[in-house]
Structure 1
Amino acid sequence: MTAIPTKLEGCFIIEPKVFNDERGYFMESYNEERFEQETGQKVHFVQDNQSYSSKGVLRGLHYQTGEHAQAKLVRVFEGEVLDVAVDVRPGSSTYGEHVAVLLTAENKRQLFVPRGFAHGFIVLSDTASFFYKCDNFYNKESEGGILFNDPELNIDWKLPQESLIISEKDKVLPVLKNARAIW
């Protein structure tokens, strides 16, 4: 595996080593020791989550606050998504900036989203199966979120806004300047 740094400190694109032959392929999707060597991040994942969504479904932008903050390692099993991480760490030189990475079943890329980041994704294919590891357990009381179309963030979600499928909860999230403090 190779960790490719993004413009946001601590946020990495992970490219696995894939071994293809006439039978198909094999890859190691995660190795804690190798991950730490490549990223310099010591992370112990404790929860795995999976979602299945249709084209145009936008989930996010979500984060957990305080002692329940979460780092995530995300990937796609089937389909194609645009995955977005937004730096919401107070005092960070890249506060309010984001990275957007195309994750597909074909490219097998992953994105490591450290604690202190909001996270979301949109499904660009007909359907997508999305999988992510978390280093902390979900806690409802520690939920935070940012409105997906906050003009200050200026995220290009790649699909027309009128075609997006967004939960009622995500439609009323605050903009970044009014969002719940991460710490």
Structure 2
Amino acid sequence: MQEIEPSYQWESLYNASQDPKSPFYGRTYSNTEYTHTIYSYYIHPLWDEIDSETLYCKILFTDYAKQFSIIELMGEWNDTLHNDIMLFKRGVIDHLLASGVKYFILVGENVFNFHGSWEDDYYAEWFEEVEDGWIAGIGFPDFIEREWSKYKIDYYINFGGTLQIPQWRTLKPEVLFLGIHKILSKRLGA
């Protein structure tokens, strides 16, 4: 797991550790010191901790003028034992919402498992707070999308179908956002 790095293709355009509005502002990273683990396996030091034992993230890009953020996730999303949605919502999403972000793109290629809970308060809260925005999940494995459907997460996060965008890394952040915005405008009838 230590070789799985967050995407860095847009680092010249945006770096969360240099963004005063980011919850990760001022963080410093080591490329040689591995301190964080998931189930006793060290993970790459560029992932940001959110106080979860199993889920980490990286804000890849945020545009406050266009009100969108792209966040990559890594690890196991566990709402059953760790209430990861609460940790993610309070530690990352609330900061971005307070700065006017209302469109969220979650990248889940490196999410290995999802353990759901029938408590959906934090998903519902996040969904209500984006008002006329949206939350989209791209790149999540099929079995995680099935679990999300089972736990009715699809009420809050849009995923699957035309949102499977395997070439997302080759796109500029604004192009990715506009493409997803177009898809969701059709899907949501907006």
Give TM-score scaled by structure 1 length: 0.30
Question: Which of the pair has the greater relative contact order for Cα pairs under 8 Å at 6+ separation?
Answer: 1
Higher helix proportion: 2
Give TM-score scaled by structure 2 length: 0.29
